[in-house]
Amino acid sequence: MGRDYYAALEINRNATDADIKKAYRRLALKYHPQNSSQPGAYDKFNELAEAYEVLSDLRKKATYDKFGEEGLKGGIPPESAASGAWSSGYVYHGNPNKTFRQFFGGDNPFADFYTADGNEVSIDFGGLRGRGVKKQDPPIERDLHLALEDLFYGCTKKIKISRRVMNEDGHTSSIKDKILTITVKPGWSEGTRVTFPKEGDQGPNNVPADIVFIVRQKPHPRFVCRKNYLIYTAHISLEMALTGFSVEVETLDGRLLNIPVNDIVHPQYSKVIPGEGMPTSDSPSTKGDLIIQFNTHFPEKLTAEKKRLLKQVLTL
């Protein structure tokens, strides 16, 4: 009875070309003599190569399916051969490393499995680890621009990406879209990084890159945000700076704060309103402070009489 190439690759007779390639990839790595110390590993490695050589070739596979190993290697009798069918016996070349190199590419498929000092790097059942052939592409970083209100309340952002995805055959690829969902938490700040592991382009010999979104705050008409502090700039006159006034500030959640300022507003002065800043990401119910800075507008000129009166008042 002839050999069962399907059993050798641990697949059934309905296996597709992609199934055949996937099975050979997995088993050839498992039983490669440099990776396996099991007794008979080389014989199994050789058997896998022959099975793949036959089943990956449409004409050889068709002949094997109809006539078995005997018909494949002994040739098809003339009375059984159809036009264009196999006419002479198939001879396996007997070099499993040749098949392995052709499948994985390169003259020395295991070149990357060794360190500079010649020490071997192990290969696990499903492929390579350590300095294996598959290396991850560098991260792909993109800015995520958010309004200050998004960072105050939190929100959900859906982003469509287009990436290269491997087809079932393990060798070709196509471009497909995917929606990534980002749940923005209240209190996130400028520079917060959101990582989607291995969502970059796929390839036969690479680990897809991580996609990283970096939070960038859009300019706001009233506030500047520094971590969980909100900074508001009030424009006042010199008279107000010296005599006192009230500042109205509309908060991000729509409230109107009326803040009295009774101190003299000097250039370094600021007013701190506790608990009216941004929420903290680890405890959204806890908020930072609102800091009011002041831009004092001085008069462009004064009459002699006003100067005299000012000197009189300031010297009292």
3-state secondary structure (DSSP) of residue 93? coil
CB 186 within 8 A of CB 151: yes
Look at residue 33 and tell me whether its pLDDT is greater than 90. Answer: no
Q: Which three-class secondary structure state does DSSP give residue 161? A: strand
**Distance in angstroms (rounded) separating the CA atoms of residues 120 and 292:** 64
Output the CATH code of domain 5-128.
1.10.287.110
Name the CATH topology of 135-217. Answer: HSP40/DNAj peptide-binding domain (2.60.260)
pLDDT of residue 29: 84
Cβ contact 54:15 at 8 Å: no
Residue 96 near residue 45, CB atoms below 8 Å: yes
Q: What is the rounded CA–CA span in Å between residue 293 and residue 290?
A: 10
- pTM, two decimals, is 0.56
CATH 1.10.287.110 residue ranges for the chain = 5-128
221 and 149 Cβ atoms separated by less than 8 Å: no
Across residues 127-156, what is the average pLDDT?
A: 81
Fold exhibited by the domain 223-297: HSP40/DNAj peptide-binding domain (2.60.260)
Q: Are strands 245-250 and 193-196 parallel, antiparallel or unpaired?
A: unpaired
How does pLDDT run across 229-287, given as a tens digit for each residue?
999 999 999 999 999 999 999 999 999 999 999 999 999 999 999 999 999 988 888 99
The closest of 8, 193, 216, 200 to 92, measured between CA atoms, is 8
pLDDT in tens, 104-132: 765 455 544 444 444 444 434 344 444 44
**The tokens 């945000």 sit on which residue?**
225
- Tens of pLDDT, residue by residue over 306-316, are 989 989 888 87
Q: Where in the chain is the domain with CATH 2.60.260.20?
A: 135-217, 223-297
Contacts of 68 (CB under 8 A, 6+ apart): 2
